[in-house]
């Protein structure tokens, strides 16, 4: 198929930077210089621009819904009332901390670990998630049924290393964190001479940091959490009690509504350490800890004193944003997080066409075929493993645009009375919905993210790839562009998601989503050897002075970027070979292959604040944009050939240094 639109804009290039030196800068330099980060963002690029575009559409739809009087229980009523309550600054100011009072008074009265356990359970239900995380997903040993996944958690900082690093910057950030915690506790009234409480909020915050540090020290790193064999640990109820004998983890899980015979525990050592920490920590510190996690969760739905304080720490100090987003965007983010599929229903009616869906489906079919050719072509895999890999690929399913069956929210009450209470009810509804699936067959029609989100995913337990309508927008996807442009953008992203089925995580699961080692030992060893080349390349990549990409943390995404680009390029060559000869002609002097690589660089162009870069390098499994663009390309001979780049240039690794997996 060839289209009339040619959205490669050479005016956004940087002619002073050679393609052979820094392709990312070469293609994006003009754009990067002309598009500084808006003060409300920590990063600004193609993804954020599409997000803005989607938000503008949703704002109109939500305002319309809020202005109507739709029938009670309808999607319009729920979305409209939620948005209206979140926009109602006067009602939020008048309510103060009253929506939290039922929990605050129970926390104040808590005198024992038993009281604490009941509070932890009830705070889990409203989304405050102290101590641990919890989710329900297909069973890793039987993808027909659901299993509870109990995870480490309970931290106020993004992940464990924030507590354990002893460099100056980490130390300074921890001091800011303690100040922030103290200010939020003071906003709640802690320190106003309550008998039996910490003398002041500062002292309480120090106690919280000490308690969270114990949890952090027992936590896995972000990279360890990607280790499938390490984190798949089925526990029956007797085994849960062995992990936390004094807390009584089994009874706690039953109380919460876990009805399955077993649960998965990602990090058993964390729960053992948590049991000891709970027993050894003074109950007044535990009370402060629960207050803190309650206020942390709902701060952005309370008065400006809470919002500003939360923004100063999480938005500014951690995320590099200079200004808070306007109220309507915050309200939209909240309604989208809580009742996303209701919002998505409104969005897809206006923003997604049947034509877009059909073209995208054709691309997915071509990309799956290209992955099949790659699996057949690689020379490092034995025939037995190759057969299994092809069987896994045959088992792939895909979803494009939006769900065939929308989620049923009829049991959720949404009202105009209180922003915080809508959030609490939504969280309680969601946990009940998840736990309510236990004992029922796995519903393969469900989506993990709402259809208006600018993202895509591979689900290893369902062996499926999913592309929401939100990302099927320019510059990721042009319904009317020619193949070269679309294959370099959404095509490489589709390839990326397919490749996740065969990365260091996905390769542990088989065609039906079950954890099964289908690899011959020598093949697995060779796969890991090849993966290690990528680990070393990215470990060596310096983002800012002294700040390097985390090779093990980003490995799965880097395998997916390299493999996705390679199979998308192969799919493009296949499409061009079968197309009208005109499709193989240059456009504006650029060959289809050059335009394919331009398109790849374009979708990832992003300006970052330093704070945001630090945050993502420590916690995000995706590499920062420049590395995402340049590193896979430097491993691809087809890229060097398309631009006539010789070996030894920064953008062309020589044969011995190249990473090559799929």
Q: Which is nearer to Zn ion, 249 or 363 (CB)?
A: 363
Q: 424: helix, coil or strand?
A: helix
- Please tell me whether the peptide bond between 475 and the residue prior to it is cis, using omega within 30 degrees of 0: yes
Q: Which is nearer to Zn ion, 466 or 479 (CB)?
A: 466
Question: Least separation, in Å, of the C-beta of 628 and Zn ion?
Answer: 10
Give the contact letters, 524-563, x = binds to Zn ion (CB under 5 A), - = no: ---------------------------------x--x---
Q: Which is nearer to Zn ion, 403 or 563 (CB)?
A: 563
| Alpha-carbon gap, residue 537 to 557, rounded angstroms | 13
| Alpha-carbon gap, residue 30 to 11, rounded angstroms | 7
The region, left, alpha or beta by phi > 0 then psi within -120 to 50, assigned to residue 249 is alpha
The residue behind tokens 């370099």 is 488
Q: Which is nearer to Zn ion, 85 or 560 (CB)?
A: 560
**3-state helix/strand/coil string of 16-57:** CCCCCCCHHHHHHHHHHHHCCCCCCCCEEEHHHHHHHHHHHH
Please say whether the beta carbons of 180 and 238 come within 8 A: no
Q: Which is nearer to Zn ion, 374 or 640 (CB)?
A: 374
Please say whether the beta carbons of 79 and 335 come within 8 A: yes
Q: Which is nearer to Zn ion, 315 or 501 (CB)?
A: 501
Q: Which is nearer to Zn ion, 117 or 392 (CB)?
A: 392
The dihedral through the CA atoms of 367, 651, 32, 321 has a sign that is positive
| Alpha-carbon gap, residue 83 to 54, rounded angstroms | 16
Cα 400 versus chain centre, distance: 19
The two three-digit tokens of residue 502, written as one number: 């065969």
298 to 317, contacts with Zn ion by CB under 5 A? none
Question: Least separation, in Å, of the C-beta of 284 and Zn ion?
Answer: 44
Question: Least separation, in Å, of the C-beta of 505 and Zn ion?
Answer: 10
Q: Which is nearer to Zn ion, 244 or 616 (CB)?
A: 616
| Alpha-carbon gap, residue 435 to 441, rounded angstroms | 13
Q: Which long-range contacts (CB under 8 A, 24 or more apart) does 35-38 make?
A: 35/607, 36/607, 37/607, 37/608, 37/609
Question: Least separation, in Å, of the C-beta of 151 and Zn ion?
Answer: 20
Question: Least separation, in Å, of the C-beta of 458 and Zn ion?
Answer: 7
Please say whether the beta carbons of 449 and 455 come within 8 A: yes
Q: Which is nearer to Zn ion, 557 or 593 (CB)?
A: 557
Question: Least separation, in Å, of the C-beta of 500 and Zn ion?
Answer: 6
Question: Least separation, in Å, of the C-beta of 560 and Zn ion?
Answer: 5
Q: Which is nearer to Zn ion, 457 or 590 (CB)?
A: 457
Residue 242 CA: distances (Å) to CA of 149, 198, 275: 17, 32, 10
Question: Least separation, in Å, of the C-beta of 226 and Zn ion?
Answer: 11
88 to 127, contacts with Zn ion by CB under 5 A? none
Question: Least separation, in Å, of the C-beta of 544 and Zn ion?
Answer: 23
Question: Least separation, in Å, of the C-beta of 499 and Zn ion?
Answer: 8
| Alpha-carbon gap, residue 361 to 374, rounded angstroms | 20
| Alpha-carbon gap, residue 609 to 360, rounded angstroms | 34
Please say whether the beta carbons of 613 and 624 come within 8 A: yes
β-bridge partners, 100 = none
216 to 235, contacts with Zn ion by CB under 5 A? none
Q: Which is nearer to Zn ion, 203 or 557 (CB)?
A: 557
Please say whether the beta carbons of 249 and 242 come within 8 A: no
Strands of 53-119, DSSP E: none
Number of residues lying near Zn ion (CB under 5 A): 2
Q: Which is nearer to Zn ion, 555 or 575 (CB)?
A: 555
Please say whether the beta carbons of 321 and 315 come within 8 A: yes
Question: Least separation, in Å, of the C-beta of 623 and Zn ion?
Answer: 11
Question: Least separation, in Å, of the C-beta of 456 and Zn ion?
Answer: 8
Question: Least separation, in Å, of the C-beta of 622 and Zn ion?
Answer: 7
The dihedral through the CA atoms of 115, 118, 120, 126 has a sign that is negative
| Alpha-carbon gap, residue 70 to 333, rounded angstroms | 22
Q: Which is nearer to Zn ion, 321 or 537 (CB)?
A: 537
The two three-digit tokens of residue 609, written as one number: 């604040």
- HSE-CB for 484 with a 13 A CA cutoff: 24
Q: Which is nearer to Zn ion, 431 or 616 (CB)?
A: 616
Question: Least separation, in Å, of the C-beta of 202 and Zn ion?
Answer: 42
Which residues are CB-neighbours of 456 under 8 A, at least 6 positions away?
465, 466, 467, 468, 471, 493, 494, 496, 497
**Pairing state of beta strands 397-401 and 464-468?**
parallel
436 to 455, contacts with Zn ion by CB under 5 A? none
166 to 225, contacts with Zn ion by CB under 5 A? none
Contact positions vs Zn ion (CB under 5 A): 557, 560
């Amino acid at each position: 198929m060839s289209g009339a639109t040619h959205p490669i804009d050479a005016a956004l290039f940087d002619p002073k930077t050679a393609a052979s030196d820094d392709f990312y800068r070469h293609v994006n330099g003009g754009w990067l210089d002309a598009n500084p980060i808006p003060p409300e963002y920590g990063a600004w690029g193609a993804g954020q621009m599409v997000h803005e575009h989607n938000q503008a559409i949703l704002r109109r739809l939500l305002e319309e819904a809020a202005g109507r009087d739709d029938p009670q229980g309808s999607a319009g009523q729920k979305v409209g009332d939620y948005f209206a309550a979140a926009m109602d600054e006067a009602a939020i100011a008048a309510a103060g901390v009253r929506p939290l009072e039922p929990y605050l008074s129970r926390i104040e009265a808590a005198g024992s670990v038993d009281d604490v356990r009941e509070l932890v359970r009830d705070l889990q239900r409203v989304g405050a998630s102290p101590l641990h995380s919890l989710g329900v997903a297909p069973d890793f040993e039987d993808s027909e049924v659901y299993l509870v996944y109990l995870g480490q958690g309970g931290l106020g900082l993004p992940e464990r290393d924030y507590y354990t690093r002893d460099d100056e910057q980490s130390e300074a950030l921890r001091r800011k964190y303690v100040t922030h915690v103290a200010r939020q506790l003071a906003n709640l009234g802690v320190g106003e001479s309550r008998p039996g409480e910490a003398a002041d909020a500062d002292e309480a915050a120090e106690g919280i940091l000490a308690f969270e540090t114990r949890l952090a020290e027992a936590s896995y790193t972000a990279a360890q959490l990607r280790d499938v064999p390490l984190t798949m640990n089925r526990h029956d109820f007797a085994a849960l009690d062995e992990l936390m004998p004094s807390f009584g983890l089994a009874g706690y899980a039953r109380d919460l509504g876990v009805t399955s015979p077993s649960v998965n525990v990602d990090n058993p050592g964390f729960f053992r350490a948590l049991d000891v920490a709970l027993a050894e920590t003074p109950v007044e510190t535990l009370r402060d800890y629960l207050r803190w996690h309650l206020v942390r969760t709902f701060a952005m739905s309370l008065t400006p004193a809470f919002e500003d304080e939360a923004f100063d720490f999480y938005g500014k100090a951690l995320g590099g944003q200079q200004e808070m987003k306007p109220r309507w965007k915050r309200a939209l983010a909240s309604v989208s997080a809580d009742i996303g599929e209701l919002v998505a229903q409104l969005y897809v009616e206006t923003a997604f066409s049947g034509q877009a869906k059909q073209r995208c489906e054709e691309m997915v079919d071509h990309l799956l075929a290209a992955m099949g050719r790659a699996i057949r072509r690689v020379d490092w895999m034995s025939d037995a493993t190759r057969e299994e890999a092809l069987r896994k690929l045959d088992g792939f399913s895909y979803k494009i645009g939006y769900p065939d069956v929308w989620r049923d929210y009829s049991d959720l009450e949404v009202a105009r009375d209180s922003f915080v209470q809508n959030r609490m009810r939504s969280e309680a509804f969601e946990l009940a919905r998840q736990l309510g699936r236990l004992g029922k067959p796995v519903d393969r029609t469900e989506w993990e993210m709402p259809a208006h989100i600018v993202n895509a995913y591979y689900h290893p337990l369902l062996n499926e790839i999913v592309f929401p309508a939100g990302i099927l927008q320019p510059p990721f996807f042009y319904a009317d562009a020619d193949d070269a442009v679309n294959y370099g953008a959404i095509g490489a992203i589709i390839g990326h998601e397919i490749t996740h089925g065969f990365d260091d995580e996905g390769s542990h699961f088989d065609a039906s989503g079950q954890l099964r080692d289908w690899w011959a030992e020598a093949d697995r060893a060779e796969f890991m050897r090849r993966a290690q080349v990528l680990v070393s390349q990215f470990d060596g990549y310096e983002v800012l002075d002294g700040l390097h990409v985390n090779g093990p943390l980003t490995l799965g995404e880097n395998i997916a970027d390299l493999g996705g680009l390679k199979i998308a390029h192969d799919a493009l060559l296949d499409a061009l070979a079968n197309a009208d000869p005109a499709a193989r002609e240059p456009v504006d002097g650029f060959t289809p292959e050059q335009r394919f690589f331009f398109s790849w660089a374009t979708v990832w162009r992003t300006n970052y604040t330093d704070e945001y870069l630090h945050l993502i390098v420590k916690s995000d499994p995706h590499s920062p944009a420049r590395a995402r663009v340049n590193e896979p390309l430097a491993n691809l001979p087809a890229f060097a050939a398309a631009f006539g780049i010789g070996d030894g240039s920064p953008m062309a690794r020589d044969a011995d240094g190249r990473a090559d997996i799929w």
